[in-house]
Amino acid sequence: MNVFGMAGHLIRRLNQLSTQVFMHRMQAAGYDLTPVQFAALDAIRANPGLDQASVAARIAYDKATIGGVIDRLEHKGFVERSVSKSDRRAREVRLTKDGGKTYDEILPIVKDLQAEILAGLEPEEQDLFIRLAIKAIGATGVSD
């Protein structure tokens, strides 16, 4: 068996393709945003006041490096941090007005590019792929 028949290799390649499509579409629309930054914005929008560690957990990202992601989003004016009232060591994160506006502007682009990532599949196959990917991730026992 060669790597082209191995799930790990194919998932890695699909992730590369997904990132490439995302970056191309964001740049074409005039936005400087990575897939991880968008995922963080999405988690923060859905859960205002999350601490950074919880943002990392929600997007299945490394706790040690989420600070840099949040730093970049803060530098762009998309999020603001404040010290948690319940845990002075934690930093709560919220979207700024500009962050919310930007999120609303790019969400349709992100939704639209999903079909481009799986362009080689028929719509029914794309739906099946999504269901199987969710099932495979759920079977790992790792929660996000």
Average pLDDT over residues 36-62: 94
| Nearest-angstrom CA–CA distance, 76 and 140 | 35
Question: Could you give the maximum distance between any two Cα atoms of the chain, in Å?
Answer: 55
Which of 106, 86, 90, 87 is CA-nearest to residue 98?
Answer: 106
63 pLDDT band, cuts 50/70/90, is confident
Q: Is 27 left (phi over 0), alpha (psi -120 to 50) or beta?
A: alpha
pLDDT of 144 strictly over 50: no
- What's the pTM? 0.87
List, in order of start, the domains of the chain with CATH numbers: 3-139 (1.10.10.10)
pLDDT at residue 141, rounded to an integer: 63
∠ CA(32), CA(37), CA(41), 5° rounding? 110
